[in-house]
Copies of this chain bind each other. A is one copy, B any other.
């Protein structure tokens, strides 16, 4: 006689990295909501304020499904909440360490930070499978923010070389913070790095050299995005 089938609950056992990856996406959603809402509150005029407020709200929508999936696979609700909260603190460092001097630096900060975190999350989502992958992909679906920021920033940059030079410098400064945060996240959570195909010896901390494939990818995508603004990364 064959073995009885595994109970259904086995289908909901989390793969390694699955819970932290979804917790990171949940934290990213909250961080992005807060940043866009804050940008909206600083908008110099009404239409921008409305657009950014709406994008903030839209960015939050997929959180429902991420939370639902975490409830299905998570160890327990409190542990999952602690993990989301911890990621939120790490992501918040980006905004704390980069104070924009004007509206344009603020928009570039959002453009760069949103881009790097999204790229990191896409990379991690690529290591997920099944329902968690589907949930992650939905959460990472763009709300049109990147295109909107390009359309807003590009004409200003094209018409003001002095501002363009300043924003190029600023872009280098803020992407340094963003990549630094990505690097620290992966070092502190080797199970996330493993989703991106990077494994160490399981004992020593992952080195920047070992993380290079991911960090180089994030940097290359950032350069491409700066190119869309007409800036050299």
Chain A contact residues, CB within 8 Å of chain B: 30, 33-34, 37-38, 40-41, 45-47, 49-50, 53-54, 56-57, 60-61, 63, 67, 81, 84-85, 88
Q: Which residues of chain B are near A81, meaning CB under 8 Å? A: 46-47
The 7 closest A-B pairs by CB, nearest first: A37-B37, A57-B57, A34-B41, A46-B85, A46-B81, A57-B60, A33-B53
Q: Contact at A37–B33, with CB atoms within 8 Å?
A: yes
Q: Contact at B46–A84, with CB atoms within 8 Å?
A: yes
Q: Which residues of chain B are near A41, meaning CB under 8 Å? A: 34, 37-38
Closest to A63 in B: B50
Prevailing SS type, chain A contact patch: helix
Closest to A64 in B: B54
A to B CB contacts below 8 Å, 5 in the list: A33-B57, A38-B38, A46-B85, A54-B63, A57-B57
Closest to A67 in B: B50
Taking the full assembly, how many copies of this chain does it contain?
2
Q: Which residues of chain B are near A46, meaning CB under 8 Å? A: 81, 84-85, 88
Q: Which residues of chain B are near A57, meaning CB under 8 Å? A: 33, 56-57, 60-61
Pick the contact of A54: B45, B60, B88 (CB < 8 A): B60
> Given contacts A33-B40, A33-B57, could you give 9 more A-B pairs where the C-beta distance is less than 8 Å?
A30-B49, A37-B38, A38-B41, A45-B85, A46-B85, A54-B60, A54-B63, A57-B57, A57-B60
Q: Which residues of chain B are near A33, meaning CB under 8 Å? A: 37, 40, 53, 57
